[in-house]
Amino acid sequence: MSEKRKRILFIWIGSLITSFICLTPFFWMIIVSFAKFPNFLASKEIPFIFTLQHYREVIGTHDLHVMNYFKNSLIVAVVVTVLAVTIASVAAYAVSRIKFRGKVFIIIGILAVSMFPQISIVGYLFKLMTKIGWINTYQALIFPYTAWVMPISLWILVSYFSQLPIDLDEAAMLDGATRMQTLIKVIIPLAAPGVFSTSLLVFISAFNEFMFALLLTSDYHARTIPVGIALFEGLHGEIPWGQIMATSAIASIPLVILTLIFQRYIVQGLTAGAIKG
């Protein structure tokens, strides 16, 4: 067999295996969410019957609070994204454009923080949030999340901002623009792909976060959807797999769609964050 043939065979068989591995669990979640009897594999007597019942239940049953969790997750993730990208852009501008003392120290300090495990701050955060009465509120999640995504956001944005020639700033300022105007009207529009990549990554990580949300929220007023799924209790005993998978599908589909549409930006963001250092 020629090398060319071998290569083509590798690509096609490889694609098949890759698709099987990556898609099977995802499809299984979808299939079970539509199965009238989620245990239909248990024996031949149990048939697979298509139903929308689980979706109807998790969306319609108020006591399950799935829609509350979903709304909470969306609100928290959107606010965190806006806050984090704003704060990190301003900081990235200073780091990539202005000379000042202590720059290296500050950058290393912020990046070193990304090594810490969540467990090393969650206990303190719980005590703090209890003391100031923020347990089970959005702000109890929004501020720690925003702090938590700072290192990666700063890293990605600096790597994008640094690629823009400094002459741009100088030209803008010669025309009388202030530093802030330069950032908003020149740098951010030119680094838009980077800002967008950062926003996507921040949104996804805020939407998916689990440990903080588990300890800092206590019910549907602030509980996010990952915690809701992890602690899912049916209304009638027995593990309600149909409802859990329907909720899981509802939680994943926005992220999967975002990823499929903006695949290019996510890949760029991930690699900028990891490799350009």
Partner 1 sequence: MKKRGQRRKEGGSLKYKRREERLAYLLLAPIILLVGGLILVPIVGTLISSFYRNITFLPPVKFIGLGNYKRLFSDLNFWHSVFITVGFTVVSVLLESILGMFYALIIHEKFRLRGIMRAIVLIPWAIPTIVSAKTWQLIYNYNYGLLNYLFMRIHLSSHPINWLGSPMSAFTSIVIADVWKTAPFMAILFLAGLQSIPESIYEAARVDGASMTQEFFKITLPLLRPVIIIALIFRTIDSLRIFDLIYVLTGGGPAGSTSSISVYGFKAYILGDFGYGSSVSVFTFLLIFLFTVIYLKLGRFREGLKNE
- Of 44, 62, 127, 131, which lies in the binding site for partner 1, with binding defined by CB under 8 A? 127
User: Which span (22-30, 48-56, 62-70, 190-198) binds partner 1, by CB under 8 A?
Assistant: 22-30
38 near partner 1 (CB under 8 A): yes
- List the alpha helices (DSSP H) in the chain: 3-33, 53-60, 66-97, 103-112, 119-131, 138-161, 167-174, 179-182, 188-190, 192-208, 211-216, 225-230, 241-261, 263-275
Q: How many CB atoms lie within 10 A of CB 256?
A: 11
Of 11 and 52, nearer to partner 1 (C-beta) is 11
Dist. CA 51–CA 30, nearest whole Å: 12
Residue 179 interacts with partner 1 (CB under 8 A): yes or no = yes
- Indicate whether 135 belongs to the interface with partner 1 (CB under 8 A): no
Residue from 47, 50, 115, 236 that binds partner 1 (CB under 8 A)?
A: 115
Q: Is 40 in the site for partner 1 (CB under 8 A)?
A: yes
Are 273 and 156 spatial neighbours (Cβ–Cβ below 8 Å)?
Answer: yes
Terminal-residue alpha carbon distance, the chain: 43
Q: Which of 135, 186, 211, 234 binds partner 1 (CB under 8 A)?
A: 211
Q: Show the tokens assigned to 142.
A: 């929004």
Q: Which stretch binds partner 1 (CB under 8 A): 50-58, 62-70, 186-194, 250-258?
A: 250-258
Answer left, alpha or beta for residue 133, where phi above 0 means left and psi between -120 and 50 means alpha. left
Q: Does 260 bind partner 1 (CB under 8 A)?
A: yes
> Within positions 50 to 79, which residues make up the interface with partner 1, using CB under 8 A?
none
Asked whether position 208 contacts partner 1 by CB under 8 A, the answer is: yes
Say whether residue 230 binds partner 1 (CB under 8 A). Answer: yes
Give dist(CA 230, CA 89) in Å, integer.
34
Residue 1 interacting with partner 1 (CB under 8 A): no
Alpha carbon 124 to chain centroid, angstroms? 24
- Residue 148 found at the interface with partner 1 (CB under 8 A): yes
